[in-house]
């Protein structure tokens, strides 16, 4: 599904990713861990197509297509989804209206009829229970005045509505208390399936107690320095990132 080869990325002239290789198959959940500044969020945002990054080398194949050649909105309509670390507040745009526009943009792209207001409300009903999305969150402006937990739930709610093939969760656990974390995790787990790949970007092991990954990769200074199974996350939790950063066991360097 996702094939990243030797990806090198700059932002504001500074080299951030220095040759990333990552292969993710449908049905798999990968966790990308790493200390602050290691480039985890950059990787997530480059996959989503954020314009502030410059890809200076390497490639990203998504379902055999050149992902980097696609506009961010085309990526989204083709099934790439990033849950934002900092969901953007958009004053004056009703959340329900926005969600419907997003769902219909994708449906139109795939030649499906657009949902009318009734059909969309049914879809909302169906998907909202698990993530505890209430009427007021739907009727307010997108993310405006939402609490940290509401913002993250709204992100995963969008994921549930858009049913992406590839979901990248950028620090979805940041700023969440334990109850909100469980709600968000159960929303993500409900989306796990053989057709879908999920990449979880996180600093802490905590989220991975609830979203158990198949693979864990450790990113440090723009490179994946260690890959392993879910037990790697526990090892990191025990030993901290210092163990990796000292370069004792560099992998793929």
Scan residues 52-71 and list those touching another protein (CB under 8 A). 71
Question: Smallest gap, in angstroms, from Cβ of residue 48 to another protein?
Answer: 5
Give the strand order in the sheet containing 215-220: 80-83, 166-170, 197-202, 29-33, 215-220, 223-228
**List of E strands, 2-79:** 2-11, 14-24, 29-33, 53-62, 65-66
Distance in angstroms (rounded) separating the CA atoms of residues 145 and 116: 27
Question: Smallest gap, in angstroms, from Cβ of residue 44 to another protein?
Answer: 11
Stretch that binds another protein, among 72-80, 193-201, 223-231, 236-244 (CB under 8 A): 72-80
Question: Smallest gap, in angstroms, from Cβ of residue 80 to another protein?
Answer: 9
Scan residues 79-118 and list those touching another protein (CB under 8 A). 81-82, 84, 87-88, 90-93, 98, 101-102, 105-106, 109
Distance in angstroms (rounded) separating the CA atoms of residues 28 and 197: 5
Count of residues in the chain = 253
Give the CA angle between residues 156, 7, 222 to the nearest 5°. Answer: 80
Scan residues 3-22 and list those touching another protein (CB under 8 A). none
Scan residues 174-213 and list those touching another protein (CB under 8 A). none
Q: Taking CB under 8 A as the rule, which mask of x and - marks residues 20-59 in contact with another protein? A: ----------------------------xxxx--------
Q: Which two tokens stand for residue 90?
A: 């958009």
Residue among 144, 206, 199 at smallest CA distance from 176: 206
Binding site for another protein (CB under 8 A): 48-51, 71-73, 75-77, 81-82, 84, 87-88, 90-93, 98, 101-102, 105-106, 109, 141-142, 158, 162
């Amino acid at each position: 599904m996702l094939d990243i080869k030797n990806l090198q990325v700059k932002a504001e002239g500074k080299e951030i990713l220095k040759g990333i290789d990552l292969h993710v198959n449908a049905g798999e959940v990968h966790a990308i861990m790493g200390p602050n500044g290691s480039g985890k969020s950059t990787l997530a945002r480059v996959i989503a197509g954020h314009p502030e990054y410059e890809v200076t080398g390497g490639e990203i194949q998504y379902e055999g297509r050149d992902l980097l050649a696609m506009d961010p909105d085309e990526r989204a309509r083709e099934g790439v989804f990033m849950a934002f670390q900092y969901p953007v507040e958009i004053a004056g745009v009703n959340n329900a209206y926005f969600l419907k526009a997003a769902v219909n943009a994708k449906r139109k792209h795939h030649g499906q009829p657009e949902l009318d207001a009734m059909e969309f409300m049914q879809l909302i009903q169906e998907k909202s229970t698990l993530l505890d999305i209430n009427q007021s969150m739907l009727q307010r402006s997108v993310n405006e005045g939402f609490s940290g937990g509401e913002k993250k739930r709204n992100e995963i709610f969008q994921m549930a509505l858009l049913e992406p093939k590839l979901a990248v969760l950028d620090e979805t656990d940041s700023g969440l208390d334990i109850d909100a974390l469980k709600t968000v995790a159960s929303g993500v787990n409900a989306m796990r399936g053989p057709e879908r790949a999920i990449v979880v970007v996180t600093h802490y092991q905590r989220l991975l107690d609830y979203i158990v990954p198949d693979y864990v990769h450790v990113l440090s200074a723009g490179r994946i320095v260690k890959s392993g199974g879910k037990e790697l996350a526990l090892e990191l939790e025990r030993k901290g990132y210092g163990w990796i950063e000292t370069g004792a066991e560099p992998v793929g360097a």
